[in-house]
Structure 1
Amino acid sequence: MPKRKAAIAVGGVAALGAAALLLPNANASQGKNDASGATGTAKTLKASDASDLAAQLQKALGDAVAGSYYDSGKKQLVVNVVNGDSNVLVQAKKAGAVVRQVENSTAELKDAAHTLKTRATIPGTAWAVDPRTDKVVVTADSSVTGAKWDKLQSTVRSLGPGMATLKKSSGSFKTFVSGGDAIFSQVQGGNVRCSLGFNVKASDGSPAFLTAGHCGVAAKDWSDSQNGQPVATVDQAKFPGNDFSLVKYNDATTQAPSEVNVGNGQTVNITQAADATVGETVFRMGSTTGLHNGQVTGLDATVNFQSETNPGGVDTVNGLIQTNVCAEAGDSGGSLFTQEGGAVGLTSGGSGDCKNGGETFFQPVTAALQATGATLGDGGNGAGGQAGAGDQSGSADPSASAGDQSGAGDQAGGNQIGGSADPSASAGDQSGAGAGDQSGAGAGDQSGAGAGDQSGAGAGDQSGAGTGDQSGAGTGSGDQSGAGTGDGSSSLTGSN
């Protein structure tokens, strides 16, 4: 690759959904997460500050803290405690959190999750602790029926009343590896498509990017155009267990900016890695469905994907972030980030789609960086930093993070996500493309043409931010009428 801006655009270029909303009202469920039963007066916090405070309290108070979450309506951190220790209550309140006394301790919730792992590791199941309900939430997809459902149901009941809840998902859990238009790889029988997550610096200083582990396991060499020459090679890939890959650019002079390309020539600067907090609003960018937003609903989630390489087997991934942000095939590896420019996660998989919704799971970026030794940056030019970088709330400098802008109207000059893209640039109808789970194999349903033969308009060479014309992205998505703000305002816009 010549010495130019990386042709692989972070997150891909795709149109926004039709129901684009301003951030303060971006998710209708935000106001439901109230701190019912909470006591004390808390500080008003941004989600990023709440995440930092939660980590500090967890470290200081240990198992006395039974989880925490961000009340986005009141902009407060709510901390669960069990034993009512007056010292714990005083410390948490003094730090600025709201304290809520709950029944289930961290140890009890972990024991419940361990029981589920031992007795109910069934393809199509997932579970995570929800600190808002103080329970383990167990989800079964549409494939869990008959004896499998009976086994899962009896296991949940055995945990005792008030410990866990069981719900059904209308879709089925799968990795979102087919049908995208951002990064491509040719494998025997077809093409693999994923989305680039975040550009980073590898431990040796070379330019690289993070994407999903099941993408890196499926294929080693990646291109920025369908059937194009490889421009990057997988250096490390972890799946199952975890779900991340470190992919190095073949040209060491590649300039890989630390930003997310959200379409229509707009980008969001990524300034730090950030831990997720239950209740906070996050944004996901993927090459198939574009920009969508929602809330973090669980942490340390376990997902049991049906294995593609071992019929009847299970690919279990642990430690994931659970959200209600939609995603579809081809979004795998794409960016999950905050309005302030925090890199949060890499799209792993889930159920549902962006018409009906569903559950989506993400590999935490902080864990991927720690495991690979990579750092956020721009391929050696030092644009990024790690968690703990200074908060630049309300900055008008486009290179700075946009800060907490919930409730803000226009802050000219800040980061903006909005604008409608060319509808032909989004991968929409992928019938016959084999958009299924391709973990390990990477080719999906390859009868006939396989996932690669999807003639149509797509996002082509994405050097810079523009869209090109190339085969392989399918027909245009229907929900792409959402016009952006277009006035330089810094409010993020997206759709659930």
Structure 2
Amino acid sequence: MSHKRIPKRKAAIAAGSVAALGAAALLLPNANASQSNGDDAAPRTFKATDVSDVAAQLASQLGDAFAGSYYDAGNKQLVINVVGNNSNVVNRIEKAGAVAHQVQNSTSDLRAAAKTLKTDATIPGTAWSVDPKTNEIRVTADSTVTGSKWDTLTSTVKDLGSGVATVKKSAGTFKTFVDGGDAIFGGGARCSLGFNVTASDGSPAFLTAGHCGVAAAQWSDAQDGAPIATVDQATFPGDGDFALVKYDDPATQANSAVNVGNGQSVQINQAADAAVGQQVLRMGSTTGLNDGNVTGLDATVNYPEGTVTGLIQTDVCAEPGDSGGSLFTQDGSAIGLTSGGSGDCTVGGETFFQPVTTALQAVGATLGAGDAGAGGAADPSAGAADPSAGAADPSAGAADPSAGAGDQAGGAADDQAGGAADDQGAADDQSGAADGQSASGMDDGSGMVTTP
């Protein structure tokens, strides 16, 4: 594999090769501003990246009556769940331009149910998050949850009461996507660079997955190459899956853009919180560009290595080789870092992402170069590309769904330490699939960790 060396003073965002970009562009909303239709009580139209701020304001105003929110992408409306039929609450929601939706379960009810799940059903291969569209907790169990484990999970869900939680089986296995890809290398592992940032001390750095940050202390832009960056902070498992990695050369300019291949890029202008119902893009060097929707927030995932909390849940597909890659919107908002999930890009599945806003706050960093400030664009000349340009077959470079799955099945057993070791084991076939898509090193790598 050949690799393009990264210029010492220029570090482009990680992003892999292009795969379903045209289709994704058709799906994502591109409204430029929220606007009223002339009636103060009528629903407004919102951009997806704007609804989290409005929802947070309403949550603080409504107190216990607030029961979550989601984005209706079809109508571009913000829906606020409320408990009870207080007309003052409904009026306040409508005055803000949102839609009031009466539900059964309060936020405190759902939090209490999630706490019960954590206490009684923390089983490797399970995950749960609140689905505000159904006002329930969505519990998912992968293929390793069988026998007494399945019985424990289903009985716990049943004991929560009617209409509080649902449980379903996933055909895949929950794992961190740590195989294949083409991006940064460290300690025999391979990961992808997520977003370039400026650390709190002003030095250039990047965010990636925490499970990458704990795999190796130093990272290179080429396999067996000299290190160019060193891990400063890493969290995994626990309260997230993120790492801050500082460039060794303090003169590196950390541009705020996602390179989507074929000379195209999407400028990243800000970090934004995800909203359920929001349409998003994920870039990875194994499967290229894929799109989908945010389906849950504050997700808990019980990986073989341990439990991770506070993640974004989506239906965007991913495969080994996509870990640590960028989750973003067409209009240039950084949303998340690929953590893990189940399934593949043939049958679909569940995927989980570390929120960028939480990671930035935890490590004290800001997006882009220091002169851009928080959420600013470091390189004004790097404009957003036409997302429809250079769209490729979505299946291009997709690996065999079974690649690397054998070890993972064993890793999902009760022995979590063994699971972590197995999860590091990568199939050579997967790496080869990534090589066929991208061989340009950190300039456009959005791959995952792999251990030969």
TM range (shorter): 0.7 to 0.9
Q: What's the counterpart of residue 331 of structure 1?
A: 322
Q: Which of 6, 9, 24 is equivalent to 1:4? A: 9
Q: Which has the higher helix share?
A: 2
Q: What's the counterpart of residue 89 of structure 2?
A: 88
Report the Cα distance in structure 1 between the residues aligned to 2:74 and 2:82, rounded to whole angstroms: 21
Q: What's the counterpart of residue 76 of structure 1?
A: 77
C-alpha distance 165-210 of structure 1, shift in aligned 2 (>3 A): same
Q: What's the counterpart of residue 17 of structure 2?
A: 14
Task: Spell out the pairing of 1:282-297 with structure 2 (5 A cutoff).
Answer: 282-297=280-295
Cα shift at 1:420: 4.5
Q: Deviations over 1:342-389 (max 9, x none)?
A: 1111100000011110000001011100000000013x342x633xx8
SS, match of residue 258 in structure 1: strand
SS, match of residue 152 in structure 1: helix
Q: Which deviates the most, 291-300 or 77-86?
A: 77-86
Taking structure 2 as the reference length, what is the TM-score of the superposition? 0.85
Q: Which of 201, 204, 212 is equivalent to 1:215? A: 212
**For the Cα contact (< 8 Å) 2:14–2:194, is it kept in 1?**
yes
C-alpha distance 434-426 of structure 1, shift in aligned 2 (>3 A): farther
Cα shift at 1:209: 0.3
Q: What's the counterpart of residue 370 of structure 1?
A: 361
**For the Cα contact (< 8 Å) 1:264–1:419, is it kept in 2?**
yes
Cα shift at 1:176: 0.6
Residue 248 in 1 paired to residue 227 in 2?
no
Report the Cα distance in structure 2 between the residues aligned to 1:227 and 1:423, rounded to whole angstroms: 31
Report the Cα distance in structure 2 between the residues aligned to 1:432 and 1:317, rounded to whole angstroms: 22
Q: Which of 252, 259, 262 is equivalent to 2:260? A: 262
**For the Cα contact (< 8 Å) 1:10–1:260, is it kept in 2?**
yes
Q: What's the counterpart of residue 374 of structure 2?
A: 385
Report the Cα distance in structure 1 between the residues aligned to 2:405 and 2:94, rounded to whole angstroms: 54
Q: What's the counterpart of residue 200 of structure 1?
A: 197
Give percent identity, aligned residues only.
61
Q: Which amino acid aligns with 1:374?
A: A
Cα shift at 1:185: 1.5
RMSD: 3.2
Cα shift at 1:271: 0.8
Q: Deviations over 1:313-369 (max 9, x none)?
A: xx1001110000011112111101112211111100000011110000001011100
Q: Which amino acid aligns with 1:104?
A: N
Q: Which of 239, 242, 252 is equivalent to 2:236? A: 239
Q: Deviations over 1:395-447 (max 9, x none)?
A: xx9757x7xxxxxxxxxxx6535414799995745957988579865972379
**For the Cα contact (< 8 Å) 2:403–2:430, is it kept in 1?**
no
SS, match of residue 62 in structure 2: helix
Q: Which deviates the most, 191-200 or 54-63?
A: 54-63
SS, match of residue 354 in structure 1: coil
**Structure 2 alignment gaps of length 5 or more:** 1-5, 30-40, 412-417
C-alpha distance 109-168 of structure 1, shift in aligned 2 (>3 A): same
**For the Cα contact (< 8 Å) 1:459–1:473, is it kept in 2?**
no
Q: Deviations over 1:120-141 (max 9, x none)?
A: 0000000000000000010000
SS, match of residue 352 in structure 1: coil
SS, match of residue 214 in structure 2: helix
Q: Which deviates the most, 429-438 or 242-251?
A: 429-438
Residue 55 in 1 paired to residue 56 in 2?
yes
Cα shift at 1:23: 3.3
Residue 460 in 1 paired to residue 451 in 2?
no
Q: Which of 415, 420, 425 is equivalent to 1:445? A: 425
Q: What's the counterpart of residue 35 of structure 2?
A: none
Report the Cα distance in structure 1 between the residues aligned to 2:344 and 2:336, rounded to whole angstroms: 19
Q: What's the counterpart of residue 480 of structure 1?
A: none
**For the Cα contact (< 8 Å) 2:25–2:388, is it kept in 1?**
no
Report the Cα distance in structure 1 between the residues aligned to 2:390 and 2:140, rounded to whole angstroms: 35
Report the Cα distance in structure 1 between the residues aligned to 2:332 and 2:297, rounded to whole angstroms: 20
Q: What's the counterpart of residue 478 of structure 1?
A: none
Report the Cα distance in structure 1 between the residues aligned to 2:197 and 2:173, rounded to whole angstroms: 32
Q: What's the counterpart of residue 359 of structure 1?
A: 350
Report the Cα distance in structure 2 between the residues aligned to 1:466 and 1:213, rounded to whole angstroms: 17
Report the Cα distance in structure 1 between the residues aligned to 2:254 and 2:422, rounded to whole angstroms: 25
C-alpha distance 260-115 of structure 1, shift in aligned 2 (>3 A): same
